[in-house]
Amino acid sequence: MKIATPSKAVTARLHQDLLGWFAAAARPLPWREGYLPYHVWVSEIMLQQTQMERGVTYFRRWIKRFPNIATLAAASEEEVLKEWEGLGYYSRARNLHAAAQCMVRDFAGQLPDSLPELLKLPGVGKYTARAIASIAFQQDYPVVDGNVERLFARLFAIDEPVKSPAAQSTIWALAEALLPSGQARQWNQALMEFGALLCGRAAPCCNLCPVTDLCESFQTGTAAMRPVTGEAQKGIVVNFVVAVIVAEQRIYVQQRPAGVRWASLWEFPGGHLEDGAPPAEAVIRAVQEETQFVIETQIPLPVVRHAYTKYRATLYPFLCHLPSPILPTLHTAQNYRWLPLPDLERLAFSAGHRQIISRLSKVSDLNRIAGLPE
């Protein structure tokens, strides 16, 4: 399906009305105060797969802890992951860290302002490089995110699935054609903000929209049918058993090795739960294989459910008592600690294991629950 390039008159109206709307309605986001390149870059990485409100909270905390590229580059990976804890997709934090070190090494501690150089930074792809070049450095590059895809699909009645190559090529061509010279910072944000706030995913607020007369979907009563998304992907179900092992009022945690999902984050030991296997038996086996600890008492803790990338995970946590003395030489993890519960706050865990910790915090006496003598 070929979409005609909007006429000069339509383009001028879109510029006037959407830029006017943005000037009046733009949210006062912290990275919009001065548009410092470091702030714009961090916000763009942080907001991938993160809701705005949550992103703003993390952004403020992050900037307080790492106020500039130099402090981020000098931090340890553990400190960086701790600040990111709870946001998920931890490769984003590692990429920020690696990119900051690259900027200190190769760009005198500054964010490069050319698109080819931005594209060389870890974690910076086509969208992010253009967002930084246009929003931080006011260069004339269009950007297309999910909000722009949805807005264009409705405005211009695009009927192919928005992620299909055909629709992507149409949407990027429209974004190029509509970009007002010298106003990329405001225009790109206006499109994304308009898509997020007015032409939203659930139901577009057409009654507040200044361009209903230009919107083909509104004119034909088909806004609810777009964007066409194609078949919804079902999540892959995965189940795990997890052991919170208590000995001498301390809890065993181990650090995930490099090169695996959630590398360097901390976790409780455990393993996959096969279909049909009783979790209480599986946890004993999993702990023995992973740590060689022979646990005895297992008390089921509330089940934790969480989703990440394409997975829907269910964690079956157990509070376990280790009766024999702690023998560090027996476990197989490269890095491990035995810590009192409050000290777990200092380490970075994945979201699922952090949920287990928050439930543990409600257990007033771990030793008693785990069956140890008081």
Q: Which residues are catalytic?
A: 44
Binding flag, residue 155, ligand SF4 (CB under 6 A): yes
Binding flag, residue 157, ligand SF4 (CB under 6 A): no
Angle subtended at Cα 347 by Cα 128 and Cα 40, rounded to the nearest 5 degrees = 20
Q: Which is nearer to ligand SF4, 142 or 317 (CB)?
A: 142
Does residue 227 have a cis bond before it (omega within 30 degrees)? Answer: yes
CB 192, min distance to ligand SF4, A: 14
**Single-letter amino acid code for the residue at 123:** G
CB 135, min distance to ligand SF4, A: 22
Q: Which is nearer to ligand SF4, 87 or 214 (CB)?
A: 214
Count of residues of this chain found to bind ligand SF4 when the rule CB under 6 A is applied:
15
Tell me the torsion sign for CA atoms 245, 251, 257, 260.
positive
CB 148, min distance to ligand SF4, A: 12
Binding flag, residue 223, ligand SF4 (CB under 6 A): yes
The residues in 37-96 that bind ligand SF4, with binding defined as CB under 6 A, are: none
The helix/strand count (H/E) of the chain reads as 15, 8
Interface with ligand SF4 by CB under 6 A: which range of 15-23, 204-212, 256-264, 346-354?
204-212
14, 215, 304, 357: which one contacts ligand SF4 (CB under 6 A)? Answer: 215
Please write down the long-range contacts of 337-345, taking CB distance under 8 Å and 24 or more positions apart.
337/252, 337/253, 337/254, 338/247, 338/248, 338/250, 338/251, 338/252, 339/250, 339/251, 339/253, 340/249, 340/250, 340/251, 341/251, 341/366, 344/251, 344/253, 344/266
Q: Which is nearer to ligand SF4, 15 or 306 (CB)?
A: 15
Residue 189: name the closest of 8, 13, 52, 5 by CA. Answer: 52
Binding flag, residue 189, ligand SF4 (CB under 6 A): no
Residue 331: name the closest of 374, 369, 295, 299 by CA. Answer: 295
Which residue reads 């065993």 in tokens?
Answer: 252
Q: Which is nearer to ligand SF4, 48 or 212 (CB)?
A: 212
Cα gap 209→13, rounded to integer Å:
13
Interface with ligand SF4 by CB under 6 A: which range of 62-70, 216-224, 288-296, 340-348?
216-224
Q: Which is nearer to ligand SF4, 217 or 264 (CB)?
A: 217
Which residue reads 């383009």 in tokens?
Answer: 11
Binding flag, residue 111, ligand SF4 (CB under 6 A): no
DSSP structural state of residue 182: T
Binding flag, residue 198, ligand SF4 (CB under 6 A): yes
137, 218, 308, 318: which one contacts ligand SF4 (CB under 6 A)? Answer: 218
CB 219, min distance to ligand SF4, A: 9
Residue 313: name the closest of 223, 236, 220 by CA. Answer: 236
> Could you tell me which residues come within 8 angstroms of residue 232 by beta carbon, excluding any fewer than 6 positions away?
none
* Cα distance from N-terminal residue to C-terminal residue, the chain: 73
Residue 130: name the closest of 190, 188, 91 by CA. Answer: 188
Interface with ligand SF4 by CB under 6 A: which range of 135-143, 147-155, 311-319, 366-374?
147-155
Binding flag, residue 222, ligand SF4 (CB under 6 A): no
Q: Which is nearer to ligand SF4, 225 or 307 (CB)?
A: 225
Binding flag, residue 199, ligand SF4 (CB under 6 A): yes
204, 269, 270, 279: which one contacts ligand SF4 (CB under 6 A)? Answer: 204
Residue 55: name the closest of 22, 92, 25 by CA. Answer: 92
**Single-letter amino acid code for the residue at 357:** I
Q: Which is nearer to ligand SF4, 197 or 326 (CB)?
A: 197
Interface with ligand SF4 by CB under 6 A: which range of 2-10, 151-159, 163-171, 318-326?
151-159
Which residues of the shown chain bind ligand SF4 in the complex (CB under 6 A)?
Answer: 151, 154-155, 198-199, 204-206, 209, 211-212, 215, 217-218, 223
